[in-house]
Amino acid sequence: MAENRTNRELETREKTTRRRSWQRPDLLPSPEPQPGWEYRWIRISTLGAADPMNVSSKLREGWEPVKASDHPEVQMMVVENERFKDNIVIGGLMLCKTPTELVEDRNAYYQQQTDAQMSAVDNNFMRESDPRMPLFRERTSSVKSTR
């Protein structure tokens, strides 16, 4: 009583996987993540006109330009500005990095500002509340981080 079974060793996973669907390519390449660093594309020009105010404000915030030699996986390097010739610049945007702690501190600062503003709005709103006809204070929205 012989069975017509194929040997398991002849079966491959490649034959049973689904075909990958087409996805639109990213406009900006992502560098290989490094522990302790956050990456961001910073605007250095718009329509060919330099934007020194934005660049200087981001550099003062703690962002530092990434050297092209540090990330060879980002292949689409185009030198558009002699000032940033050693950096990764694509379409008026320059790749920059900053320590993760600085990003977390910045997010905590802005979260504190947001909480203070919401508290002020709630206090102003609830000031007009009457116990005989209370105003509701329901807030169910939430934000989830994609990182």
In whole numbers, what is the pLDDT of the chain averaged over residues?
A: 78
pLDDT average, residue stretch 89-118: 90
pLDDT in tens, 25-57: 777 878 888 899 999 999 988 887 888 899 899
**Which tokens belong to 137?**
């204070």
The closest of 102, 95, 100 to 61, measured between CA atoms, is: 102
Domain layout of the chain by residue ranges: 37-122
- C-alpha 6/C-alpha 4 separation (Å) is 7
**Which tokens belong to 99?**
């320590």
| Residue predicted with more confidence, 102 or 68 | 102
For 100-109, which contacts have Cβ atoms below 8 Å and span 24 or more sequence positions? 100/36, 100/37, 100/38, 102/38, 102/62, 103/38, 106/61
pLDDT at 114: 93
Percentage of the chain surpassing pLDDT 70? 74
pLDDT category at 120 given cuts 50, 70, 90 is confident
Q: How far is CA 113 from the centre of its chain?
A: 21
